Amino acid sequence: MKEMKLIVLLAVTVNATILLVFLIRENKSSSMARSFILWLHGLGDSGPANEPIKTLFSSPEFRATKWSFPSAPSNPVTCNYGAVMPSWFDIHEIPVTADSPKDETSLLKAVKNVHAMIDKEISAGIDPSNVFVCGFSQGGALTLSSVLLYPKTLGGGAVFSGWVPFNSSIMEQISHEGRKTPILWSHGTADRIVLFEAGQAGPPFLEKAGVSCEFKAYPGLDHSISNEELQYLGSWIKGRMQSSS
């Protein structure tokens, strides 16, 4: 009988300990700000193929982060002789230069779809200041357009190997709130798909419109994303997350 009481007491103690640990974790998690990171892939790629990126963001600040990796719809792409592939908007030539032609009609249609994704998360309770949009190549160009044309100030937009896919006339559509969204722009100097000059032309173009942009050049990096870029992105986002308190 004494042995039975000891076992029961031990079970209650273990369960209470588990409950206490759970409550501590629950409180710790609830005190963290909820955030949302939307990742937009490049031409011909897919959302699921990019999901491993989030495994690099393992610090406590990202425990309450919701990630989304959507896939672009299949569309004919001019620079690939009309071939149908996953593409957010049309691209007229490769390599992309600072003076490449822009297809603003298909771009603005894609921006509208991205805004719908952001609206959904904000409606669900995410603070706009904790919404971050990131993208590579074509996805980077769409990221830039989407955060600038969004009517609220977001946590930030991160452009990797992207370009400015619109003309100066679009800048007139950017609201005062949209201009306050910070931009991180990362580009490899050895990029032969979206030329480094196309990336370099971005920040001065944005700064004329009063948009803050941090540009980081990565010597020798081709048209790809490095772990170094992603590590810096993690620090950049953490520095801009707003506390829930």
What the block records as the tokens of 96 is 């992309």
Per the DSSP assignment, residues forming a β-bridge with 83 are: 77
Burial grade of 234 (CB within 10 A; 0-12, 13-18, 19 or more): middle
Q: Please identify every residue annotated as catalytic.
A: 137, 191, 223
Amino acid at 21: V
Distance CA 206, CA 164 (A): 9
CA-CA distance, 39 to 141, in Å (whole number)? 12
Partners of 185 in beta bridges: 159, 215
Distance (Å, whole) CA 114 – CA 133: 9
> Residue for token digits 């971005």?
202
For residue 125, give the DSSP letter: T
Nearest alpha-carbon partner for 195 in 218, 226, 223: 223
Name the strand (E) or helix (H) holding 234: helix 227-238
